[in-house]
């Protein structure tokens, strides 16, 4: 509580994003409260990942501010990145990877505590992959790998989770399970979710707020979004898709 | 054959060669796992060439003790390649190739123009292949190498979990509050120190091989970071010792023999890995 006004967990003010001096996203304003489920949508190259990297402090904004509030510290943020080439053939056991989620809290302490090892196991069972602890990461299926990385992100945070297209490259069944899992983290554990997604129908299903970035930005609740001009385009698309599906059958 | 070995072991230079060979093999294999996984396999070669270029410059300027200068230049290059590389326009392999070839060419050019030595190509050859210098070590060099290895080992053990975290996923590490720049710098300095010293002792060809082979051999068979690291250290040390013994018995060049042993072990591990997979 500052001056009687409760600060949002995360707030972006007049944010300008881009590389070098080329501006991609202009004058972005939004805020995220505890327990929100925010989906970031927009076309390829519209700056969704750049925004996420800026929130995480991996790159700096051209102008504007990212403000953390409501007791959220820098190492209170969990992150589920997209997989990199390096990780695909990385010799590491699931246990080692999940534990590395605690690194940010270790400071200069060289080794992990017993409680951290316990917690890591707990997160693994929560993700339903307790039996994989000793397995090699590169031999798991795509869905299992995502669960491992999600468990690692949960070791890093209890408050906010940032996810960059968590369903990329997964088949439809595994994708649905993944979204269910993320939804339960939001609804049951009260973890704030900020997620980049291409799958707008999914976003409509779970999200509480939508951030649309592109030439024009939109931020608001899901209902407002559906009534906005962006939402109307989405509805039209959806109708089109359904017609196609029916033809396909 | 054992009589012959026992006879050779009476000479201190043979014992020194074994100790130093084993220690350098140990240090480089520990760093090797990280470097190979970070896609910096060739950094050993690149930095050794930088060290060679720096030595040539030191010789031309007329520095009597070229070690501090060489070390400083190599550390800066290593830091540029590993740490700041993220922000530059030229990435990974291209940056290493550029620095490596550039330093080698300039070094050779300078040595050629200003050389006072009668046997230039001999000098160049020995700094690249190490020739027999591992058999001509002094007591001080052995102690230096010993102290250094302890330091590298300590750094590696203390920062082991951090090295794992930033090697596996640097973005995640930075996002969750690990000062990855600092640890990248620690890795870069360690790599530079090991390579500069090792290059004087065993030559740049061998140092690259010691960085790469044990790590990729271990990765064929083992599946966790810890087991790969331990296996790679054991492999590296045993291959180095075996190689030195063979080269003493049959009079083959030391560096090339160790690399030869490493290649044989790599093939064996490849085969073993395949069998393990099929079962």
Decide yes or no: CATH 1.10.3470.10 for domain B2-278: yes
Q: Please, which residues bridge with residue A136 across strands?
A: A93
Q: Give the pLDDT confidence score for residue A6 in this predicted structure.
A: 59
Examine the pLDDT at B60 and tell me if it is beyond 60.
Answer: yes
Question: CA-nearest residue of chain A to B183?
Answer: A108
Residues of chain A below pLDDT 50: 1-4, 249
Question: CA-nearest residue of chain A to B169?
Answer: A87
**Looking at chain A from residue 62 to 101, which residues have their Cβ under 8 Å from any Cβ of chain B?**
74-75, 77-79, 81, 84, 86-87, 90-93, 95-97, 99-101
Selected residue with higher pLDDT from A247 and B46:
B46
Question: CA-nearest residue of chain A to B33?
Answer: A91
Examine the pLDDT at B133 and tell me if it is beyond 70.
Answer: no
Rounded CA-CA distance B24/B36 in Å is: 17
Burial annotation A90-127 (CB, 10 A radius, 16+ → b, else e): bbbbbbbbbbbbbbbbbeeeeebeeebeebbbebbebb
Per-residue confidence at B218, pLDDT binned at 50, 70, 90? very high
Chain A residues touching B168 at Cβ < 8 A:
86-87, 90, 92, 97, 100
Q: Give the pLDDT confidence score for residue B194 in this predicted structure.
A: 86
Q: How crowded is residue B187: how many other Cβ atoms within 10 Å of its Cβ?
A: 26
Chain A residues touching B36 at Cβ < 8 A:
none
Q: Give the pLDDT confidence score for residue A235 in this predicted structure.
A: 63
- For the segment B168-182, the average pLDDT, to the nearest whole number, is 85
Per-residue confidence at B231, pLDDT binned at 50, 70, 90? very high
- pTM recorded for the entire structure: 0.84
Q: Which of B177, B217, B227 is the best substitution to test chain A (most A C-beta atoms within 10 A)?
A: B177
- For the segment B195-202, the average pLDDT, to the nearest whole number, is 75
Q: Which of A98, A100, A117, A158 is the best substitution to test chain B (most B C-beta atoms within 10 A)?
A: A100
The two tokens of residue B93 are 């392999």
Q: Give the pLDDT confidence score for residue B242 in this predicted structure.
A: 92
Rounded CA-CA distance B147/B202 in Å is: 17
Smallest CA-to-CA distance from A83 within A41, A142, A125 is with: A142
The two tokens of residue A201 are 């129908």
- For the segment B187-200, the average pLDDT, to the nearest whole number, is 83
Q: Give the pLDDT confidence score for residue B214 in this predicted structure.
A: 93
- Lowest mean per-residue pLDDT among A100-114, B120-134, B158-172: B120-134
Question: CA-nearest residue of chain A to B159?
Answer: A110
How big is chain B, counted in residues? 279
Q: Could you say which of A92, A99, A103 has the minimum Cβ distance to residue B176?
A: A103
CB contact under 8 A, A78 and B37: no
Contact A218, A47 (CB under 8 A): no
Q: Give the pLDDT confidence score for residue B90 in this predicted structure.
A: 61
CB contact under 8 A, A110 and B157: yes
Q: Give the pLDDT confidence score for residue A3 in this predicted structure.
A: 44
Contact A108, A48 (CB under 8 A): no
- Lowest mean per-residue pLDDT among A219-233, B3-17, B83-97, B223-237: B83-97
- For the segment B159-173, the average pLDDT, to the nearest whole number, is 89
Selected residue with higher pLDDT from B1 and B154:
B154
Q: Give the pLDDT confidence score for residue B263 in this predicted structure.
A: 93
């Amino acid at each position: 509580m500052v001056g009687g006004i409760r600060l949002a967990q995360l707030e972006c003010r007049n944010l300008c994003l881009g590389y070098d001096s080329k501006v991609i996203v202009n004058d972005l304003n939004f805020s995220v409260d505890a327990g929100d489920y925010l989906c970031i949508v927009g076309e390829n190259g519209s700056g969704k990942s750049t925004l996420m990297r800026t929130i995480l402090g991996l790159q700096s904004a051209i102008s504007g501010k990212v403000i953390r509030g409501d007791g959220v510290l820098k190492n209170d943020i969990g992150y589920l990145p997209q997989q990199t080439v390096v990780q695909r053939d990385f010799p590491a056991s699931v246990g080692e990877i999940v534990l590395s989620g605690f690194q940010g809290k270790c400071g200069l302490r060289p080794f992990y505590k017993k409680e951290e090892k316990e917690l890591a196991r707990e997160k693994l069972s929560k993700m339903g992959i307790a039996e994989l602890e000793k397995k090699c990461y590169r031999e798991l299926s795509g869905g299992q790998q995502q669960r491992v990385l999600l468990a690692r992100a949960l070791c890093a945070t209890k408050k906010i989770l940032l996810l960059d297209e968590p369903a990329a490259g997964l088949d439809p069944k595994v994708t649905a399970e993944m979204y269910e899992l993320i939804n339960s983290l939001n609804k049951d554990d009260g973890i704030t979710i900020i997620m980049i997604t291409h799958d707008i129908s999914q976003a409509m299903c779970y999200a509480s707020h939508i951030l649309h970035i592109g030439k024009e930005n939109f931020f608001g609740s899901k209902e407002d979004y559906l009534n906005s001009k962006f939402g109307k385009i989405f509805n039209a698309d959806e109708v089109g898709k359904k017609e196609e599906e029916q033809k396909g059958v | 054959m054992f009589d012959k070995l026992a006879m050779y072991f009476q000479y201190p230079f043979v014992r020194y060669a074994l100790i130093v060979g084993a220690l350098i093999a140990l240090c480089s294999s520990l760093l090797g796992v990280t470097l190979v996984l970070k896609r910096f396999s060739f950094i050993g070669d690149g930095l050794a060439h930088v060290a060679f270029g720096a030595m040539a410059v030191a010789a031309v300027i007329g520095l009597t003790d070229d070690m501090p200068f060489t070390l400083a230049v190599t550390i800066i290059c290593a830091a540029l390649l590993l740490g700041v590389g993220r922000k530059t326009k030229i990435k990974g392999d291209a940056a290493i190739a550029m620095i490596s070839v550039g330093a080698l060419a300039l070094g050779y050019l300078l040595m050629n123009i200003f050389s006072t030595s009668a046997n230039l190509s001999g000098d160049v050859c020995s700094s690249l292949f190490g020739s027999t210098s591992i058999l001509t070590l002094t007591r001080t060099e052995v102690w230096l190498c010993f102290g250094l290895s302890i330091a590298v080992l300590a750094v590696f053990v203390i920062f082991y979990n951090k090295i794992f975290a930033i090697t596996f996923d640097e973005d995640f590490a930075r996002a969750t509050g690990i000062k990855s720049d600092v640890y990248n710098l620690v890795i870069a300095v360690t790599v530079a120190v090991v390579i500069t010293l090792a290059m004087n002792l065993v030559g740049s060809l061998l140092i690259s091989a010691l960085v790469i082979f044990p790590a990729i051999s271990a990765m064929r068979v083992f599946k966790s970071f810890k087991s790969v690291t331990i296996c790679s250290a054991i492999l590296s040390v045993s291959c180095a010792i075996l190689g030195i013994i063979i080269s003493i018995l049959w009079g083959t060049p030391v560096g090339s023999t160790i690399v030869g042993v490493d290649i044989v072990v790599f093939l064996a591990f490849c085969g073993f890995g395949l069998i393990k997979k099929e079962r």
